[in-house]
Structure 1
Amino acid sequence: MPTTTDNLFRKTGRLLRPSLSSVAGQVRGMLHYTRIQLAVKAALAVGIAWTLAPLVPGVAAQYPYYAPLGALVSMYPTVFGSAKAGFQTLVGLVVGMALALIALLFGGPSVWTIALIVGVGVLLAGIPKLGAGREYLPMAALFVLVMGGDDPDGYSTGYAVQMLVGVAVGLTVNAAIFPPLHLSGAVNGLKSLRLSLARQLKEMGAAISETWPPEHEAWSNRRTELIAFSKEVRESVQLAETSHRGNPRRRRHGRDLSADYEALRAMERVTLYVEDMTEVLATAIWTSPEDMPVPAELAEPLSEAMTACGEAVETWDADSEEHTQARDAVRRLQIEMNTAASPDSPVDVTASLAMSMRRILRTIRAEEEHQ
C-alpha cells in the first residue's frame, strides 16, 4: 500500500507539475533507497537473531524460531519507532501469555477455553496504549494454550525470551547501521506547500484580470486539494521529528525541527486563508456573480494585490521586497475599495479577499518574529 510520504510526493507533482517535478523525483528516489536500506537491515537482523537463538541458555533454546520474529516486528523506519514497537510487542505477549496461563489453572485447552481466551484477548487488544502489541496479545494467548503442551510455563518463558532477543537484535541493527533521518521529506514538503500556495494566489490573480468568466479555471478545482496536501506535509514533518528521536546521527544533522513545526503551523493557517479565497472567488465568478460581483474598477488592483501576495508567500520573508510590495498593493486595494464602495457597486468579494491577504501577510511576519 502507498505510504503517506508516497502520497505527498504524488500530490506535489500534481499541484506543482512542472516547477517541482525534479525535486519530487529526487525525493522519490531517496524513499526507494530508504525502503531498500530497511529491507537489508531487516534481513541482517533476522539472520543474526537466528544465529544467536540456539545460544540462549535454558528452555528458551528450544524455541529459536521466535527470535527472528522478534527482530522482524521491531524493524521500523525510525529508531524510536523500533524501540516503541518492540516494547509494545513484548507487553502484548506477556499479557497474552498471562491470560492463557490463568485459563490453564482451570483445566486444559478445549474449544471453550480457547474461544473464551481468544475473545478476551481481542477485547484487551482494543487498549490503544498497547500499540503494536495489540496484534500479538490474542495470538500469544492462543499459542500458549494450543502449543504449550505439558509445559506451558516453559513454552511461555522460551517464547518471551526469544522474542526479547530478537527485539534487542532488531533495535541494535536499526540504530547502528545508518539509522534514517527523514528530514528531506519535511524540507521538501514545506517547500512544496509554500510554492503550491504561492501558485494558487498567482493563478487567482491572473484569473481576475481575464475576461469573465476566465478561461483558466484549474485553480478553482484545488479547493480541497490544498487542505489535504497540508495534512500530508504535517505527517511528513512528524515523521522527521520521530526519526530524530533516539537517532545517534541527529547530532551531525542539527536541523531545528521546532522551527519546522512553527513554519508548518503558519503555512496551515495560510492554507485555510487561500482555500477560503478560492471558494469566495470561484463562487463570485461561476456560481452567483449577480450576488457577489467584483466591480470592474477593482479588478486590476485586486489582481495586482493577489499576484504580489503570491510572490510574498513564495519568498516567505517578512523583510523582503516582495513582502513590502504585497503589503503596499493590499493598501492600494483598500483605498480603491473605499472609493468604489456604493450601493450600486458592492465590494463584498473584494473586501473578503483583501482581509484574507492581510491575514496571510501578518501570518508570515508573525512566524518569522516568533523564530
Structure 2
Amino acid sequence: MGHPQNSWIVALPVGYLSAGRRVWVRHPRWSLAIKGALAATLAWFVGTLAPAPFSEYPYYAPLGAVLATTSTVVRSVRESVQTVAAVLIGAAIARAVDLLPLPGPLEVGVVVGIALLCVGWRIFGDMGSWAVNSAIFVLILGSGEGMGFIGSYAGLIVVGAAIGIAVNLLLPPLPLTPSEVALTRLRDELAEQIETLAAGLEDRGTLDPDAWEDRRHRLIPTIESARAAVGQMREASRANRKVRRTGYRDWVASQTRRAGALGTAAEVVDEIVRLLVEWERDGREDVALGRQLRPSFATTLRAFAAALRVAETQDAANRPDGGAAAQAAADAVRRLDDSLGELRHQVRETRRTSEQDYFVAGALILDVARGADALRL
C-alpha cells in the first residue's frame, strides 16, 4: 500500500497544473502576453545570430513575432503575409522617391502621400498601414544603406512572423472567455429590456417612442460586440488542436448554439418593441393589445425573459450540475409555452367580443414563439 503522504505529493503538482490551465483559459490577455514575450525573445536571438547585414538590425524581428502572436492561427498567417507585402511596397516607394532630387520635407510628404494611397488596397487587408510605416523607416533610417537595409527590414519581419506563427501553433489562442462574457452581457441586456417592456405594459401607460427608440439603439453595440467575439472564437477554433479535446469542443459548440439563439432573441425583442411602440400609443383606435390583453402579454414577456436568463445552462451537461441546469432551462421554456398558449386563447376570446381583428397581437405572439423556439437548444 502506498503511503498517504506520497499520494498527496503526487496530487499537488496535478492540482497546480489544473489551476494553471483554468487561469490560462479564463484570462486570455495573460496567455497573449506570455506568448508575445516568448516569441519576441526568440525572434531577437535569431536576429542576433543571423549573418550580416541581418544581425545589424535584430530589433525588427520581434515586430513580426508580436504581430503573429496577437491573433488567431489562421489570421496570423494571413496577416503576416499581408504585412510583408505592405512592408515591401512601402520600402519600394521610399527607394523610388529617394532617387528623385527632392528636398527633405517634400520628399517625406511625397513618400507618405503615395504610401497612404496604398493603405486601402484589399490585398493588404487591415495591415495596409505597414506600407506607411515601412516607407518612413526606409526613407529616414535606411537612407544611404541601399537594398541591404530593405532586405534586412523585410527579412527579419518575415523571420519574426514565422517564429510567432510557430508559437501560435504550439499554444494556439482560443478566446472562449471573451465570447462567453459578450454573450452573457447580451443575454442580460435583452432580458432586462424585455422585463422593462413588461413593466411598461403593466403600468397601462403609453410607451414613449423616443425613449424606446433610444433603448433599441443602445442595444446595437452589445449585439455587434457579441457577434464579433463569437466570430473571433469561431475563427480561432479553425486549425486549433485544442478543439479536439472534449471540453473545448463542447464549449465551442455551446457558444455557437447560444450565439444563434441570442441572435434570434435580439431580432425578436427588436420587432416586439417596434410593434408595441407603433401600435400601443395614444390616439390609436386599432391598438395591438389594449387594456384587456396587456397584462397577459406582460406575463408572457416575463416568462420569455426568465427562459432567456437560464437558456445558456441547457448546454451544461459536462458540468457537475449539468442535468439540473438543463432541466431548469427546459422547465423555463415549457412555462413560456404555457403562457403563450394562454395568451393565444385570450386573444381568440377577445376577438369574439370585439370589432377589432387584433392582427398585431397575433404577430406579437408569433414573435415570442420564434424566440421560444430559439431557446430550445
Regarding TM over 0.5, the answer is yes
Structure 1 Cα separation of the partners of residues 271 and 214 of structure 2? 13
CA spacing shift, 1:200–1:354, aligned 2, 3 Å: farther
Q: What residue in structure 2 maps to residue 249 of structure 1? A: 242
Amino acid in structure 2 at the alignment position of 1:306: L
**Which of 132, 135, 141 is the aligned partner of 2:135?**
141
- Structure with the bigger percentage of helix: 2
Partner of 2:34: 40
Q: Which residue of 2 aligns with 1:233?
A: 226
* Distance change (3 Å), C-alpha of 1:337 and 1:194: farther
Residues 71-121 of structure 1, C-alpha deviations (whole Å, 9 max, x = no match): 233331433343333222111111112223334555688554443232211
DSSP-derived class of the 2:69 partner: coil
Aligned to 2:301: 306
2:53 to 48, 53, 59: 59
Unaligned runs of at least 5 residues, structure 2: 1-22, 312-328
Task: Please say if residues 301 and 332 of structure 1, whose CA atoms lie closer than 8 Å, have aligned partners that are also in contact.
Answer: no
Q: How does 1:90-101 map to 2 (within 5 A)?
A: 90-101=84-95
Q: CA deviation at 1:183?
A: 1.8
Cα contact 2:97–2:110 (8 A) shared by 1: no
- Corresponding residue for 1:358? 366
Question: Partner residue of 2:351?
Answer: 338
Separation in 2 of the partners of 1:32 and 1:123?
41
Residues in 2 aligned to 1:45 and 1:265: alpha-carbon distance in whole angstroms: 36
Q: Per the alignment, in what secondary structure is the counterpart of residue 173 of structure 2?
A: coil
Matches within 5 A, 1:95-114: 95-104=89-98, 110-114=104-108
**Matched residue of 1:275: which SS?**
helix
Q: How many residues align?
A: 331
AA aligned to 1:163 is I
Q: How far does the alpha carbon of each residue in 1:179-206 deviate from its partner, in whole angstroms, 9 at most, with x for none? A: 3311233345434434543443344334
**Match of residue 121, structure 1, among 112, 115, 122:** 115
Contact 1:315 1:322 in 2 (8 A): no
1:328 aligned partner? 341
Alpha-carbon shift at residue 154 of structure 1 (Å): 1.1
Structure 1 segments, 4+ long, off by >6 Å, are: 29-32, 218-221
Residue 183 of structure 1 corresponds to: 176
Question: Structure 1 residue 290: deviation in Å?
Answer: 5.7
1:164 and 2:172 aligned: no
TM-superposed deviation, 1:250: 2.2
Residue number in structure 1 paired with 2:321? none
Distance 1:145 1:192, change over 3 A: closer
Structure 1 unaligned segments of length 5 or more: list them.
Answer: 1-28
8 A Cα contact 2:337 2:372, kept in partner: no
Is the 8 Å Cα contact of residues 67 and 165 (structure 1) preserved in structure 2?
A: yes
Q: Is residue 306–residue 357 contact of structure 1 (8 Å, CA) maintained in 2?
A: no
**Contact 1:45 1:71 (8 Å CA) reproduced:** yes
**SS in structure 1 at match of 2:222:** helix
Change (3 A) 1:111 1:324: closer
Match of 1:49 in 2: 43
- C-alpha distance in 2 between matches for 1:340 and 1:192: 43
> 2:347 touches 2:361 (CA, 8 Å); kept in 1?
no
Three-state SS of the structure 1 residue aligned to 2:53 is helix
Q: 1:356 to 1:148 in 2, by over 3 A?
A: same
Secondary structure class of the residue paired with 1:254: helix
Q: Using structure 2 for the length normalisation, give the TM-score.
A: 0.72
What SS does the corresponding residue of 2:78 show, helix, strand or coil? helix
Matches of 1:249 and 1:200, distance apart in 2: 36
TM-superposed deviation, 1:353: 4.4
1:205 corresponds in structure 2 to 198
- Where 1:224 maps in the other structure, the secondary structure is helix
Distance in 1, matches of 2:26 and 2:304, equals: 37
Q: 1:259-274 alignment to 2 at 5 Å?
A: 260-261=255-256, 263-274=258-269
Q: 2 CA distance for matches of 1:265 and 1:231?
A: 13
CA apart distance, 1:308: 3.6
In the other structure, the counterpart of 1:295 is 290
CA displacement at 1:143 relative to structure 2: 2.7
Q: For structure 1, which segment, 306-315 or 135-144, has the greater mean C-alpha deviation from structure 2 after superposition?
A: 306-315
Distance, in Å, in 2 between the alignment partners of 1:255 and 1:143 is: 47
- The aligned amino acid for 2:202 is S
Deviation at 1:67, TM superposition (A): 1.4
Contact 2:44 2:59 in 1 (8 A): yes
Q: CA deviation at 1:361?
A: 1.4
Identity of matched residues, %: 25
Distance 2:205 2:139 in 1: 74
- Range moving further from structure 2, 302-311 or 160-169: 302-311
C-alpha distance in structure 1 between counterparts of 2:28 and 2:102, whole Å:
47
| In 1: Cα distance, 2:47 partner to 2:337 partner | 67
Q: For 1:164, what is the secondary structure of its paired residue?
A: helix
Amino acid at match of 1:277: I
What is the CA distance between 1:279 and its match in structure 2?
4.3
